[in-house]
Amino acid sequence: MAGDKTKITFEIYTDSNEMLEKIRDQFNLPDTSKAPRCLLDFAASDGDWDNIFGEVRCRRCG
């Protein structure tokens, strides 16, 4: 299901960007921005939002 795309800008840590690039390469995605779109589609359709957002998983907060 294709739709209109909106260009947004946000900041992520360098290692998170490296992870998106790895996903892009491993799954032969057309560009790096496809990885977070896939993740967002999963969260919207199949993800358990309480599981995703109800637990703090920050790798930097300690």
* pLDDT tens-digit map of 4-60: 889 999 999 999 999 999 999 999 999 999 999 999 999 999 999 999 989 888 888
What are the φ/ψ torsions at residue 47 (nearest 5 degrees)?
Answer: -75, 145
Predicted model pTM: 0.79
* pLDDT at site 1: 54
Q: Which residue has the tokens 């795309």?
A: 5
Residues with Cβ within 8 Å of residue 21, at least 6 apart in sequence = 32
Joined tokens for residue 33: 């921005």
At 57 the pLDDT is 85
At 3 the pLDDT is: 81
Q: Which residue has the higher pLDDT, 14 or 1?
A: 14
Helices (H), 1-62: 14-26, 34-45, 49-53
| Residue 60: per-residue pLDDT | 83
